[in-house]
Structure 1
């Protein structure tokens, strides 16, 4: 099915469901005689939180983008069941909500032990969405108290583009931001079609014009082990060896910034960890 045919099918499907849904079913008061079967376009538009003009274009099969958020609003406005919802999302070129990724399994204790063993080197573990699912105390020396953030905001992309404190520790934020976006796109692959990943991208595009511009460039980048420079209020400029390792049979990735063994920097990070533990 080509894109034009898909748009026509989407328009026809939405129109058919609008015409069969009564005002009473939608919780609307009926006043006077209605010439239109079912709901009016302006009623659906209001319930879905979109303009009447935009909704009219949708029913006319215009070439417009329909976000997952708007699709969800249309599901509620039109009273679609699970099968109809899946059909709506598929016509719009989106993964249906019923195919959401499985809940994140509990992280093995051995992963957390590894993070502890890596101290004083800052290290954390991310999933395919670049969510930080575990970290060590040395990581908090640079990134701050990650527990203060909502779980869904402990995300490398979100921290990079939406948390000013995170930007201040980077020696070259512009370059690192562009690399992070290109690396994420390259590593996510088919996961970009998963609803939770698509939702993250949509939220970032709304929150950060800088992310939106970089994302739409569609750049790709491979991972390259290299030295990274960070800034810390007490430690000043520090150079660390940046490495990543994928867990076998898992979507988890270990990210570490290695400190030379027995170095003065390692001793100072250990002292800061001790001060934080108080």
Structure 2
């Protein structure tokens, strides 16, 4: 670690330490400066007080990832602050923290909904779909009809005959999906979290078992990045797909399919609009007061 990097790391640690309220951690006594003392941070992080002092002074050397995680917990750092600390201390971001997700915030859902001709989904590192737009419901799968625990992209591809029938070249799609899934899981350190899913798929589907045993690893940038579907009502569809990181959520990614011609885009847009209209009518019917309620 360079002298400048060590000093920047020390300055950041000091700034985070001085913002904390000692009383909230059970520390008392008169203080000349705000925040926790260095020895109190070291105590909370279960590290040497002398070494932590050196670290703030820019002469402690490069800390390990384990030590940085302890300091993050001791200083109550946010996810953004944790990432910044790792970048300063090790020159790389920390490992992704996997958390179960039930949905996304309204801002991200509005982004999805604005893509009215582009089927778009948000997926976790384990490839569970947690958000989608109407275009995705029309072209890909109506995820709203499925329980949250069953919205997994691998289960669809290998377990749903209708999804398989839509694929222009199922074998190529399946090989790409398994290879990129394997890479995503390893990158996020989630091999144990997906063990049951992989075991279930291997038992239930010989094709998945065969592809999984190939141990192929692929990135999302491999291939031509074009998805071809034989849709039962929209006909033959070609879409270019792009994967985007979700700001502040390294465990999520947004997958957007962009139609390659205006006619396809218009057909998807019209079908999605019709679906929204039908959903609105159903909601209006459910919420409308019944006539006999007013006669009671």
Unaligned runs of 5+ in 1: 1-99
Aligned-residue offset at 1:185:
0.5
SS at match of 2:240: strand
Give, in whole Å, the separation in 2 of the partners of 1:102 and 1:135: 19
2:138 equivalent in structure 1: 141
Unaligned runs of 5+ in 2: 1-96, 279-296
1:120 equivalent in structure 2: 117
Give, in whole Å, the separation in 1 of the partners of 2:147 and 2:203: 18
Answer yes or no: is 1:220 the counterpart of 2:206: no
Counterparts in 2 of 1:186 and 1:101: CA distance versus 1, 3 Å: closer
Give, in whole Å, the separation in 2 of the partners of 1:271 and 1:209: 38
Correspondence list, 1:25-174, <5 A: 102-104=99-101, 106-174=103-171
Cα deviation code 1:69-99 (max 9, x no counterpart): xxxxxxxxxxxxxxxxxxxxxxxxxxxxxxx
Match of 1:184 among 181, 188, 202: 181
**Number of residue pairs matched by the alignment:** 178
Give, in whole Å, the separation in 2 of the partners of 1:161 and 1:231: 17
Counterparts in 2 of 1:116 and 1:140: CA distance versus 1, 3 Å: same
Give, in whole Å, the separation in 1 of the partners of 2:260 and 2:173: 23
Cα deviation code 1:19-69 (max 9, x no counterpart): xxxxxxxxxxxxxxxxxxxxxxxxxxxxxxxxxxxxxxxxxxxxxxxxxxx
Counterparts in 2 of 1:116 and 1:127: CA distance versus 1, 3 Å: same
1:59 equivalent in structure 2: none
1:229 equivalent in structure 2: 228
| Deviates further, 102-111 or 127-136 | 102-111
Answer yes or no: is 1:258 the counterpart of 2:258: yes
1:67 equivalent in structure 2: none
- TM-score between both structures, scaled by the size of structure 2: 0.56
Cα deviation code 1:203-248 (max 9, x no counterpart): 1112211111111111001112622211112221111111111224
Counterparts in 2 of 1:174 and 1:196: CA distance versus 1, 3 Å: same
Give, in whole Å, the separation in 1 of the partners of 2:234 and 2:187: 40
- TM-score between both structures, scaled by the size of structure 1: 0.59
Higher Cα Rg, which structure: 2
Counterparts in 2 of 1:168 and 1:240: CA distance versus 1, 3 Å: same
Give, in whole Å, the separation in 2 of the partners of 1:152 and 1:213: 25
Counterparts in 2 of 1:215 and 1:265: CA distance versus 1, 3 Å: same
Aligned-residue offset at 1:257:
0.7
Match of 2:199 among 176, 198, 202: 202
Counterparts in 2 of 1:234 and 1:190: CA distance versus 1, 3 Å: closer
